[in-house]
A and B are shown apart, each in its own frame.
Chain A
Amino acid sequence: MRRIALPVAVAALLALGALVVLELMRPSAAPTRAEQARLIAAELRCPDCQALSVAESQTAGAAAIRRQIVEQLAAGRTPEQVRAYFVARYGEWILLAPRSPLAWWVPPAAVLLGIGVFAWWLGRGRGAVAPTASPTGKARDRIRDEVEQLDA
């Protein structure tokens, strides 16, 4: 029984692994136009409200942008072209997340730099300790006298 159990377990694990790989490699279904419109609206800042996306806001300005997104997608524009259309009018301000990769890399780089500087500052004194000279015979006698006086 044991002789069969191991190959069966290995085969089951391999089959499971193959299923996982197949699932991961399976191309995801293309988003519908409505999903694309919702995704674009979620990336755009609502112009006439604060801290809300066009998808979340109920203002007239956000509704007009949502309508234009749907119309432009229906006219055959790609999501990237639709985003570019709004950026050309409002500037990068309209995007809730910045497009420049610098905006993502600079903060962690600054933190790492800070940690590096702090580590260097902490470790700069090490290894530079001045060697202490051993006391001369005279000094040793004086120390012994002082200790004896303290003990007395």
Chain B
Amino acid sequence: MAAPSLRRSLRWLALPVVLVPLGWLLFTGLGTDPRVIPSPLVGKPMPAFAGATLEGGEFSSADLVGRPAVVNFWASYCIPSCVDEHPVLLDLAARHGDELQVVGVLVNDTPDDARGFLDRYGQVGWPNVLNLDGDISIDYGVIGPPETFFVDADGIVIARHVGPLTTDEVARQLAALGLTP
């Protein structure tokens, strides 16, 4: 005879069972940035690359062994994002150039345009790999410049940053690399 009251209790129980997971989904969904695309490379060895540089030399990622690295994908047409992050990278190299290696990789750009960008916004002391066939961009799963990969001394990718680098982001990643920001 307790069936109707039991049914009523179950009905009230069903409400939170449905609403709580829905609310949780909405809450967590609203808190995430839809533009953030997780990279499958994080936690894995950095893809090796080598090639001619803008400066007229050759670069090989094999030379990075034992040293943390910041691999920055950029282009002269990437305005204003690449312009915005340029002083951040210059500051990073000036303060931590002896502890880590900054490497630039061009994305679908011509050497002349890239040189024009550096003439205008500041010359850099690190190598910039030409990447004319775009294979390095594919190996790193680059969607569009600027994108930056932080690699530890063991050659493991610890983070990927999509968009212009900020001083806060650099400080966070330096700490993760065990360096004093």
Mark each residue of chain A from 45 to 56: 1 if its CB lies under 8 Å from any CB of chain B, else 0.
Answer: 001100000000
Q: What is the chain B residue whose CB lies nearest that of A90?
A: B141
Query: Looking at chain B's contact residues, is the secondary structure mostly helix, strand, loop, or mixed?
Result: loop
- Measured in the bound complex, the distance between the Cα atoms of B142 and A94 in whole Å is 11
Q: Which of the 9-residue segments A8-16, A25-33, A59-67, A96-104 touches chain B?
A: A59-67
Q: Say yes or no: B133 contacts A93, CB within 8 Å.
A: no
Q: Say yes or no: B40 contacts A91, CB within 8 Å.
A: yes
Q: Say yes or no: A89 contacts B139, CB within 8 Å.
A: yes
- With A48-B108, A61-B108, A91-B37 known as contacts, the answer to whether A68 contacts B141 (CB < 8 A) is no
Mark each residue of chain B from 132 to 154: 1 if its CB lies under 8 Å from any CB of chain A, else 0.
Answer: 01110111111110000000000
Q: Say yes or no: B144 contacts A64, CB within 8 Å.
A: no
**Residue B39, interface by CB 8 Å:** yes
**Residue B38, interface by CB 8 Å:** yes
Q: Say yes or no: A93 contacts B37, CB within 8 Å.
A: yes
- With A61-B134, A65-B138 known as contacts, the answer to whether A89 contacts B41 (CB < 8 A) is yes
Interface size range on A against B = 10 to 19
- Measured in the bound complex, the distance between the Cα atoms of B157 and A89 in whole Å is 12
Contacts of A86 in B (CB 8 A): 138
Instruction: Give the Cβ gap from A119 to chain B, nearest Cβ, in Å.
Output: 15
Q: Say yes or no: B143 contacts A47, CB within 8 Å.
A: yes
Instruction: Give the Cβ gap from A122 to chain B, nearest Cβ, in Å.
Output: 15
**Residue A88, interface by CB 8 Å:** yes
Which residues of B pack against A, CB within 8 Å?
37-41, 47, 108, 133-135, 137-144
Which residues of A pack against B, CB within 8 Å?
47-48, 59-61, 63-65, 67-68, 86-91, 93-94
Q: Please name 30 pairs of A and B residues whose Cβ atoms are closer than 8 Å in the assembled complex, sorted by A.
A: A47-B137, A47-B141, A47-B142, A47-B144, A48-B108, A48-B143, A48-B144, A59-B108, A60-B108, A60-B134, A61-B134, A61-B137, A61-B144, A63-B134, A64-B134, A65-B138, A68-B135, A86-B138, A87-B40, A88-B40, A89-B41, A89-B47, A89-B138, A89-B140, A90-B141, A90-B143, A91-B37, A91-B39, A91-B141, A93-B37
